[in-house]
Each structure stands twice: as structure tokens, then as C-alpha cells.
Structure 1
Amino acid sequence: MKKYFKITVVILFAVIYSSYGQTYTIKVAYDASSAGCHAASFGWKLSGNMVTIGSFSKGGNSMNINESQTFATVPTYTSFSLSHSSNCTPLRKDDIDCIDSYTLTKTVVEMLQGAYLGMGGCNGGVDVSFFQPNVSIENLDTASPTKLCAGFSLSLAAFPLGFPVEAYHWQYSTDNQSTWIDVPAGMNNTPTPSFTMQQLLGANHANYLNTPIYFRLGYTTRAFTTPLAITYSSCAPVAQYINYEAPKCNGNSIEKIEVFFKEKLKTGEDLSIIYVVNTDPAKTTPRFQNTALVTSFILDPATNLYKYSFPNLGEALENGNFYTVKYQARLNGQPMGSLQVSQQPFQYIDPAKMQFKITGQTQPTCFGSEDGTIDIEILSGELPYNFYVDNVLKTASKIDNLHYKITGLKANVLGYKIKVTDKNDCIEKL
């Protein structure tokens, strides 16, 4: 799984759209019958802000209606009303006449969001079966309208302007089929949204590299526009993993940070920026950032992958914090993809100090004897331990994991220099 990010390079495109006649397309479907009626009538009227948009009326004892009407250039009314009237004089004299008359009103916002506007009556029904703003969408990046490099913001535009913001309700799909997902609320309901693919797709966004992502205006299963396909591309070599080797001893430099790539840099391609960064979003200071362009990788024969090794790893990171690697690619001097290494971040742990103390000693029993002892307590470090007396390795008797006894010592009026090392050869001298 790859993750991607935005470093510092953002391409902005300014486009000015002139506002022209904002209109809606509305379809009214209706059916009616005179079955069971000696005499019957049926009619409806659609209005916007009390102005009649369309109507229908018919009557008779042989009425059989199943029709629709489409109004393609309805002005931007703030509300829409649908009125319905019907009556039926039954064939049976002892049945009661049926007379219906209804009017329902919905705001334009309700209609945009999919509110139902319809009703039934004595011998038929009518409803608004289609309601759509006449809008179009496009990518503002006219230089690369069907492609987005990882780490860059996608800037879309809907036009004309002037509709209620609910008309500019953006959705995206990874399959262009039945699954359409709303763009996050803070980026939605605007004619000119801007976002990265990672903001939309989250942690799994790398699964969709080099595949099209589709955008449209609409709600649930109701599309206002034809989908716009944008191919999500890495536009840079994709890092496979990080090889991190922690410091061996407390306060030492990190042993190694290597980044492995599947492919080498192409002709004209370089990494203008590559650095280690804390995964805590409040701690964004780059670490070990390159001071020169990275123009080539080294082929690692053990993995058959291409490798970049961070130099000069003397800077200390924050103990216990997690880190990852980010980088910005260029092609012929132009910024391309901005990526983050896919694997789980590594944790920087500064090893505990190798510390010990002498807790006791015994003198040799006789002059020239070699039965003196020194008792040592390990305060911190990692097993196993080695014990040196005047830089000569000695065998120490283990009492437990923290307590040891050096034996076989003879008298030394100058005293002994004791050194203890742990498994990483970390030392503390007394």
C-alpha cells in the first residue's frame, strides 16, 4: 500500500467563467384512466415561483393516459409546485363520486437533494420523475486534464455559476458503476473544489494508482453531469520499503536508513527533495534532507532493487517517535509526483545506556593470592555482558541477570580499571 502526500509544490489554475442562463431540466410523468368511471377528468400543473411551467388536462369515458413531458430550460426558481386534479363519476349509481385536488410545494434545494414531488388521485397520478440543473464540469488543469500526479491537488470546476450550492454536490467513484461517494463536506457544495486523492481515498489510495477515478455532480444514484475520468498516477519512482537500522548504543548515530525503489530514475528525472519526517502532523520538520539533487540510485544485488542511502545520520531523532520518508520527483526540472514510502513507519529508539556499578569487593586472603573478587550490578544494557579488568576479558560468575562476580583477582595497590560491555559493545567505564 502506497501513501502519498503534498510537499510544497501546488499548481494553481485560474479560470473565470461568465455566468449565463442557469436553467433546470424537469420531466413530469403522469398516467390516468377512466376505467370504472362513467365520466372522468384528469389534469396537472407545474409551477415555479407561481409561474406556470407546464400543464395537462383531459377528460372523457375512454381516457387512457401514460405520458411524460420534459422542460429543458426551466429558470432558476426558488420553489416548485405541482398541482393535480381528477374526478370520476362511477359507473355504479350507488357509488360515491370521487373528486381530488392537491397542490404540493418543494424548495429548489429539496428538489436538488432528491425530494419527491408527486401525488395520486381518483383515477391517476403525476410526479416529477427527473430534476437536474443544466451544469457541466471540467478539470482546471488544461495542460493535463485527464491525469493527476500523486501529491498534487486536483482543482475541478462546475459551470455556469449561480445555482444554489447544493447543485455543486461532488461525488467520486472508483468503478464508474453504482458506487458513488460524496466528496468530504469541507470540500463539497462549491463550484470550484480542490483536494488530493489521498484526502478522498484515505489509507487505501495507493491501491488505485494508474487507474481512473471518476467525478460528477449529483446525489446517490442521480447524476447531474457526465462522469469526468482522472487517472491517478505516481509520476515518480515508487518506493517499496525502508531498511532502517537503529543506533547500537545510547547517543550513537543511526546505523542506516535506505529506501528501495522498484525502478531506477529515468533520463531527466531526479528527486529534488527526499527526507525523513515525523508522522506526528504537529512535527513536520524535515530530517536528513538532501542538499543536492538525487540523480541516480544504486542497484542492490541482494534485492535487485534500486537503493538510496541517507548520508550523515548523526542527527538525533525524538526518542519513541515514528518516522517515514517523503520525496518529491521532477522530470526535466518540472515538479512531478510527491510520495511517501508505503511501509509502516519506523520507530526511533535510543538504546538505554550501558551502566553498571560496583557493589562490593573482597581482598585476596594472602599476599600473592588470586582469590580477590569484585561484585557488579548491571543498571542498564542488553544481555549478554562482557567484563574486562585492565582491558583483559575476564569470566564473571553470574548470580542473576543483573548481578555478577569477577573472581581470581590478586592485590593491586593501584586498583583495577573495570569495563563492562553489552551485546552491542556499548560501554561504561569506571
Structure 2
Amino acid sequence: MKKLFLLLLFVFVSHSFGQTYDIVIAYERQPTDEKRQEYLSTYPQFSQEYLAWGLNGNSSRLVKMNSNDNSGKTYIDNALGYYFKRTSGPQLTYINFKNVLAESSFTDYFIDVSIYNAYGQTLYSVDTGDQNIEFDDLINPGKNHQLITTYAGNFYVQSFKPNVSIFLPPNRDPAGGTKTICANEQFGVFAYPQGFPMEVYNWQYSLDNKNTWRDVPAAFHVSNPDFTISDLLGSNHLDYIGKTIYFRMGYNSMVFANGLEFPLVYSTCAPVVTQVEYNLPPLCNGDNIRDITLTFDRNLKPGEELRFFQLKAVNTATNLPDSTPPILYPVFSEGDPRNGVVTTFDEKTLNVFTYTLSNFRGLNPGATYQIRYQAFENNASKGFSFSPEADNIEYKEPEPISFEINKANNPLCADQTVEITIDVHGGTGDYIFYVDDVKQTNPEPEKEQDGYYHIRGLTPTANNNIKVTDSNGCIEKN
């Protein structure tokens, strides 16, 4: 135990950063039968012994305890920072180590234990540091994580607290009412002081009203994290728009910063689409989409803009973005003054506004799409939003029209007329037939019992030109 005096020199020389821990070590005098028998067999002549123990950092320093931090503990030697006590009978003792200086990276601790007889002779010593206290032992306290089992009893961490605080800016402080975190907005809080090991800056979040907590990715274990909700949840973050997400610092078994928890409502922070009107789909297969009109819940504020409108394919079962096809941007005609940007409207005259996407193509027939867009304020990205799931667009492109002349009867005599039968598929509505650019109306061809359209009374020419359109004027395209 003589090394204790030498260690005192290093305690105040090597550390001046201000980052400290509070650690409570529990000692339980209930040695196992095996340890008790081992002690009695080794030292049968001694019926009483004294215990001295303390907490060490690394080989160059001693972590001191002080009697004024441990009410009623009269056996603490403030000079050595060790706890001396006569051991007799079962007992449970808690010792507080206050303001233990932290390293910038976590350094293991170990418990330095010595047992003396009544005459001051060392009977047993565990002070090699072989049984280190890892960080997992600190953040998972309790008897299930016993550190050392000696002749005298067991040692374990009762509690661990890094002396760290959280500064909440006004838009995060729950005392001021419900707060929001915008889509694409960085987290925006600060834990101080800086300089703790990264394990201390373990931010957690809860999606189910604090029933379960999840750690943020290790890349964000810093005092001032800059993650967004999509960094945590990936594409699933869209499922949590309008819901409350709770945040804190710590671990499931041990929370830091005095257990401060703060709720944030996940918000688009942008005008929200309340209605999607898809009244003008393509008329013909391969044509552009003519018109999709969006109605928003409010007008734009001064300095706000909505940009980068997208139609993103989603999985109808989950309403999550599909991997294929990729995000599709509406193609605006050259010189279109909108150019993909909604500019500020006059709030005095418009409480809501509409925005029309028109004249674009490239959607996948049979896929379901959602409108998405980004919000900006004074040219800074503010968040993004999307149209309601109920207004998702199922893109149905008209089937291309096609026809085939199945049979044409040759005339038997001069000046006789002929009849042709036509097989037609696709298109929209009723079919219209033309012969040599003349619409056939008298009579108008109809599908007959054989499944074909018949055109009768044709005067044969060297090459009759037959054309078929649907009710939208779509024709067969080669």
C-alpha cells in the first residue's frame, strides 16, 4: 500500500479539463463459502480483520474519496483517499467518489483492496488492476455486474454519473411548450462540457412514448450532434411525421444529465398538401401527363419557397419509397416561369394556394406515386413534405390502340362493293373508323357477334387507307 503516497502526486498534475464523473461503489460483506473457507484455511489464527479499499484509474494515479462526500463514513483517510474499516458480519456499504477526473478517451478503473489483521499486517491484497472496471460495468450497475469477489465480500458499481449538462435552445426547451424538429433539420442541442469520451455522449430516442429507447449511431456520439431524423430512421422517418419523438442522453440502465428528457414533434415545417387533383391524365399511351393540381393548407410566408417537386413511387402496402423507379421530376417546358419553384404569394389575399404540375411524362404504369417537395426559407433548407397517403396517385396509362384487318372480300363483279372485318384493341371509349380519311358514319361500324368490326359498302380502290382512333383521337403508333 506504500504506492498510494506516490500516486497522489499525479492526481492534480495530469488533469485540468473539468470533465468529471461521480461513481458509487458498493461493498457487500457476504463472501462466498469458497472464499470464506479459503481465508480460514490460510489465516486460521485471526478471527478479525480490517479492510482497506479505494478506486484507481491507471497505474499513474489514484482516484480519491473524501469523508465529506460520504456522510457518516468516519473511516475514510482523506490523505490517502482510502476507506478503512473493521469487517465483521454481513454489511452493505456505499462509497461515493465525487468529481473523478475524466480522460478524453475512456480509461478503465480498478478496485484496490487490502485486508489486514489486527496488528496491521497485510493478509491479502488485490491491487494489480487485473480486474478492470470497463465502461459497460459503469453504465450497467448492480449486483449482476460484480467486479471483484474477495475474502471479505463483493464489490460492484452502484451508480455512475458523468457530470454533464444539456443546453436546450428555446426551440428545444419543453418548458416553453410543444417544440418541433423539422424534416431535414439538424438535432440542435448541446451537451457540456466537451471533452468526455464518446461513450458519454450517447444520445437516445424513443418512438413509442418512452417505452423503449434506441441509441443514435456511434458517428453522432458527440456533444453537439448534427443528425437529422432521416439519419436515424432512414426512409421510415416519413411514418413519423406529426408524431412525438423523445430524446435524452444515457443508456437504458443509466441516464445522464439528471435524466432530462425532451419531446419533439416531427414536422414538415412547410405548407402541407391537403388535396391532390389528378383530373387530366394522358389522353393516349405515351402522351405527357397534362395536369396535377396541389392544394396547400396555407399560403407561403415571406421568404418561404417550395422547390424540387418530385413524384416518387411508393409501396402501397407500407407507403414507403420504392427502390424503382427512381425519383422522377416533372419536366417543365423550356422558359416555364415556375422552373420547379413556387414563389411567395400575397398572404393578405390568399389563405391557401394551389400549384399545378403539368406536361410531364416518365411514370411507370401500374405504380403508385406520392408528391414530395422541399421547403426553403431565405434560401436555407427548412424541411420537406409530401402529399397525404389517401391522395396517392395510381398511374394508369391508357392501353395503346392497335388494329388488324382480319378479312376483306374481293368483289365478284365490276362496280360491286366490298366488306372488311377489323380486330381492334386498346384505347379509350368508342372507336372511330376512317376510310381514305372519311369518317364512317352511315352506317357506323359496330362490333358484331363474331367479335370483329365490319365496314361494308366500300368501293374498292388500289389501296384503301384504313385508320382507327379511340374517343380521344389516339391512333396506332408503330
TM-score (norm 2): 0.66
Query: How far does residue 286 in structure 1 lie from its aligned partner after superposition?
Result: 3.6
> Which has more strand, going by share of residues?
1
Q: Does 1:215 align with 2:215?
A: no
CA distance in 2, matches of 1:329, 1:429: 41
Deviates more, 1:126-135 or 1:147-156: 147-156
CA distance in 2, matches of 1:76, 1:57: 25
What secondary structure, in the 3-state scheme, does the structure 2 residue paired with 1:198 have? helix
1:370-400 CA-to-partner distances (Å, cap 9, x unmatched) read 5x22232446546764434421243244577
Query: How far does residue 369 in structure 1 lie from its aligned partner after superposition?
Result: 4.6
Q: Does 1:28 align with 2:25?
A: yes
CA contact (8 A) 1:25 1:134 kept: yes
Deviates more, 1:108-117 or 1:231-240: 108-117
Q: Does 1:259 align with 2:294?
A: yes
Q: Does 1:239 align with 2:287?
A: no
Q: Does 1:44 align with 2:53?
A: yes
Aligned length: 386
Q: Does 1:395 align with 2:445?
A: yes
Q: Does 1:317 align with 2:362?
A: yes
CA distance in 2, matches of 1:429, 1:230: 55
Matches within 5 A, 1:24-103: 24-32=21-29, 39-50=48-59, 51-53=61-63, 54=65, 55-59=82-86, 61=88, 63=89, 65-76=91-102, 78-84=107-113, 102=126
1:51-75 CA-to-partner distances (Å, cap 9, x unmatched) read 33243232265x5533212222111
CA distance in 1, matches of 2:428, 2:245: 51
TM-score (norm 1): 0.72
1:28-67 CA-to-partner distances (Å, cap 9, x unmatched) read 1223379x99535444322111333243232265x55332
What secondary structure, in the 3-state scheme, does the structure 1 residue paired with 2:91 have? strand
Query: How far does residue 213 in structure 1 lie from its aligned partner after superposition?
Result: 2.9
CA contact (8 A) 1:79 1:105 kept: no
CA distance in 1, matches of 2:20, 2:477: 85
CA contact (8 A) 1:118 1:125 kept: yes
Residues 160, 149 of structure 1: alpha-carbon distance in 2 compared, 3 angstrom cutoff: same
Query: How far does residue 314 in structure 1 lie from its aligned partner after superposition?
Result: 2.2
1:130-163 CA-to-partner distances (Å, cap 9, x unmatched) read 2232223345xx4634442233222343332322
1:193 corresponds in structure 2 to 225
What secondary structure, in the 3-state scheme, does the structure 1 residue paired with 2:185 have? coil
CA contact (8 A) 2:428 2:471 kept: yes
Q: Does 1:129 align with 2:158?
A: yes
| Aligned sequence identity (%) | 29
CA contact (8 A) 1:237 1:265 kept: yes
Q: Does 1:144 align with 2:171?
A: yes
CA distance in 1, matches of 2:124, 2:449: 100
CA contact (8 A) 2:147 2:154 kept: yes
CA distance in 2, matches of 1:332, 1:194: 21
CA contact (8 A) 1:212 1:231 kept: yes
CA distance in 2, matches of 1:111, 1:253: 64
Query: How far does residue 221 in structure 1 lie from its aligned partner after superposition?
Result: 2.5
CA contact (8 A) 2:87 2:152 kept: no
1:374 corresponds in structure 2 to 420
Letter in 2 for 1:106: N
CA distance in 2, matches of 1:27, 1:176: 30
CA distance in 2, matches of 1:396, 1:44: 103
Q: Structure 1 unaligned runs (5+)?
A: 1-18, 90-98, 298-304
CA distance in 2, matches of 1:429, 1:120: 86
Letter in 1 for 2:285: N
CA contact (8 A) 1:367 1:411 kept: no
CA contact (8 A) 1:41 1:60 kept: yes
CA contact (8 A) 2:302 2:344 kept: no
Letter in 1 for 2:157: V
Deviates more, 1:324-333 or 1:191-200: 324-333
1:341 corresponds in structure 2 to 387
Query: How far does residue 359 in structure 1 lie from its aligned partner after superposition?
Result: 4.2
Query: How far does residue 360 in structure 1 lie from its aligned partner after superposition?
Result: 3.4
Residues 119, 60 of structure 1: alpha-carbon distance in 2 compared, 3 angstrom cutoff: closer
What secondary structure, in the 3-state scheme, does the structure 2 residue paired with 1:325 have? strand
Matches within 5 A, 1:96-111: 102=126, 105-106=131-132, 109-111=135-137
What secondary structure, in the 3-state scheme, does the structure 2 residue paired with 1:132 have? strand
CA distance in 2, matches of 1:42, 1:429: 96
CA contact (8 A) 2:406 2:421 kept: yes
1:96 corresponds in structure 2 to none
Residues 209, 381 of structure 1: alpha-carbon distance in 2 compared, 3 angstrom cutoff: closer
Residues 257, 100 of structure 1: alpha-carbon distance in 2 compared, 3 angstrom cutoff: farther
Letter in 2 for 1:420: V
Q: Does 1:418 align with 2:466?
A: yes
What secondary structure, in the 3-state scheme, does the structure 2 residue paired with 1:167 have? coil
CA distance in 2, matches of 1:191, 1:83: 32
Query: How far does residue 197 in structure 1 lie from its aligned partner after superposition?
Result: 2.0
Residues 369, 291 of structure 1: alpha-carbon distance in 2 compared, 3 angstrom cutoff: same
1:333-378 CA-to-partner distances (Å, cap 9, x unmatched) read 88644212242864656544323233431134445555x2223244
Q: Does 1:249 align with 2:284?
A: yes
> Which has more helix, going by share of residues?
2
1:63-108 CA-to-partner distances (Å, cap 9, x unmatched) read 553321222211125220114456999xxxxxxxxx8765653365
- Larger relative contact order, structure 1 or 2 (CA cutoff 8 Å, min sep 6): 1
Letter in 1 for 2:214: I
